[in-house]
Amino acid sequence: MADSALTSLNTATVKQQWNLRQCIDGCVRHGIQGIAPWRDILHAMGVDEAARAIKDSGLRVTGLCRGGMFPGATPAQRQANLDDNRKAVDEAVALNAECLVLVVGGLPDGSKDIAAARGQVRDGIAYLLEYARSCNMPLAIEPLHPMYAADRACVNTMAHANDLCDELGPGLGIAVDVYHLWWDPDLEQQIKRAGRERLLAFHVCDWLVPTQDLLLDRGMMGDGIIDIPLIRSWMEKQGYHGLIEVEIFSAGNWWKREADEVLKVMKQRIREAV
């Protein structure tokens, strides 16, 4: 089982309870070493102030969530998306983040052409990568479960993410989230194919049976059916020894609890179920 000192808090896990300042203080109070902020609460605090507070806290930033959302119905929309992504890279640099996580986006409004959307994603990443390389900021594609292909991300497997990494080259890697990838019969092989260089982040939560809501009913590690220690062992076999980021969207359960309790349970489950 994993060492709870390896825990990182994705701020979405306590999204309804805490702002970024409270998340930073909470991590310090609970001996959690890492944090992965979302841009909305980062903007609410202010990037400069957040960067200072995180630096003072000594926390590692396991990723900034998120860039991506590349496809657009018009060239103007796609350019606006790219401009926003450059800003996201700048913010990740300001926070000294270990990567910028990319949720790549789905179909543009009114489109049924998923191949074209995937082409726009490829072109968007290629464009952004040039800038990200100049700032030394790694980009981490996060493949999402295929149920999100239409509206969130049309990169749905590690294999597809690895293909993009092969094509586009250095500076691009993958965020492995067990919620999105646990079902894939090819997962072990694709983690191996990615290798140490590309494995930029490891996100954990659990898949509940039954799942009440496909977006907002993720489980705490140990409460569902994902063999997380097995997937972690595949990551470690490739030399991944980064922090383990806990990312739980849970409108009906964990978002309703005291945040301090959530952090306590998180650490315990990292020890017992990860």
User: In the complex, what is the shortest distance from the CB of residue 142 to Zn ion, in angstroms, rounded to a whole number?
Assistant: 5
99, 89, 90: which is closest to 124 by C-alpha? Answer: 89
Nearer to Zn ion, 51 or 248 (CB): 248
User: In the complex, what is the shortest distance from the CB of residue 259 to Zn ion, in angstroms, rounded to a whole number?
Assistant: 19
Specify whether the CB–CB gap between 266 and 2 falls below 8 A: no
Question: Which residues of this chain interact with Zn ion, rule CB under 5 A?
Answer: 177, 203, 247
Residue 32, SS3 per DSSP: coil
Nearer to Zn ion, 91 or 177 (CB): 177
d(CA 254, CA 222) in angstroms, rounded, equals: 14
With left for phi above 0 and alpha for psi between -120 and 50, is residue 241 left, alpha or beta? alpha
Nearer to Zn ion, 70 or 179 (CB): 179
User: In the complex, what is the shortest distance from the CB of residue 113 to Zn ion, in angstroms, rounded to a whole number?
Assistant: 26
Specify whether the CB–CB gap between 269 and 221 falls below 8 A: yes
With left for phi above 0 and alpha for psi between -120 and 50, is residue 239 left, alpha or beta? left
User: In the complex, what is the shortest distance from the CB of residue 201 to Zn ion, in angstroms, rounded to a whole number?
Assistant: 8
DSSP tag of 217: B
Count CB-CB contacts under 10 A for residue 110. 6
Nearer to Zn ion, 41 or 72 (CB): 41
Nearer to Zn ion, 54 or 153 (CB): 153
User: In the complex, what is the shortest distance from the CB of residue 10 to Zn ion, in angstroms, rounded to a whole number?
Assistant: 7
